Amino acid sequence: MKTRAHKKIHVAVIGAGLMGHGIAQVFAAAGHETTLTDANEDALREAPGHIARSLRQMGMEPDAILERVHLDMSLEGAVSDAGLIIEAAPERIGLKQRLFADIAAAAPRSAILASNTSVIPITRIGQDLDPQARSRLVGTHWWNPPHLVPLVEVVRTACTSDEVFEDTFGILLAAGKCPVKVLKDVPGFIGNRLQHALWREAISLVHRGVCDARTIDQVVKQSFGMRLPVLGPMENADLVGLELTQEVHRILFPDLDGGAEPSPLLAELLAQGHLGMRTGKGLRDWTPGQADEVRERLARHLIAVQAPTTTPI
């Protein structure tokens, strides 16, 4: 008997923004009929154009793939016969809880219910669902941009059934992603806990006057960042030896930022209206052209990294 991981299913994606339309692109490219829904009619209408541009950027012909992407303004209509439903709404827990209550009421009782939250524990999102729906709830944390970054974190809760957890993993693997299993539902899962531990220390170094923000980026990109694609932190610790690792930690850990609150530097910048690239200033200064160049450079890099193993569908 085929599991859901080994057959084509109807996928519904809730939210047609950057993450949502990228996730829909992945499933449509893998041969699944995929429905996008969004309360914002403009975002929904523009999604196929964004998908087409992304596919062309990847060297893929969009027409056949876009035939499998369907738009539906009605959440109930989008999920009514879906086998996998992925929520990609803004990071507001109340919104996500309301969405999943509506989804669970309208979708088949066999459908996998998945959230693309990047930090909110899946257990909290599903806390008001009935036990049967909670057993079908799982986290699928995709990375931005979702059609170019291979990894997806599959997060189980204490209520998630083994079948749903394994089927979700298998569906993503068959769609060409690199899923990993997160066995405990902790805030931020794996990747964001690692990433933001680095960000906390980086912002602290700038706040303490050790260096400026540009230097942080230069140090990361031109030193250990160059090794990361082929040498993970656990591999590196074993490579240099755990004796040295322990000695370095004895000296270093007492001086690292261990704050439990966001850096005061962030509060200062936000109070001044400096939100990042979209306002022209954050931790660094940005012109619109410079911001666009960063996005384009990232896309070109991710496409080039995957080029040897990417086969157009």
Q: Which amino acid is at 13?
A: V
Active site residue 118: yes
In 10 A of CB 62, how many CB atoms? 20
- Answer yes or no: 293 catalytic: no
Of 118, 135, 147, 263, which one is the catalytic site residue?
A: 118
Which of 110, 229, 111 has its CA nearest to residue 178?
229
Given 10, 50, 141, 147, the catalytic residue: 141
Check if 192 is active-site.
yes
- Tell me if 160 sits within 8 A of 168, measured CB to CB: no
Catalytic residue among 192, 196, 207, 274: 192
Q: Which residues of 213-246 are buried (b: 16+ CB within 10 A; e: fewer)?
A: beebeeeeeeeeeeeeeeeeeeeeeeeeeeeeee
Taking the alpha carbons at both ends of the chain, their separation in whole angstroms is: 26
Active site includes 141?
yes
Give me the catalytic one of 32, 54, 153, 263.
153
Output the six-digit token pair for 91: 């990071």
145 cis-preceded (ω within 30 degrees of 0): yes
Among left, alpha and beta (phi > 0; psi -120 to 50; other), residue 59 is left
Q: Confirm if 112 and 134 have CB atoms less than 8 A apart.
A: no
Q: Which positions are annotated as active-site residues?
A: 118, 141, 153, 192
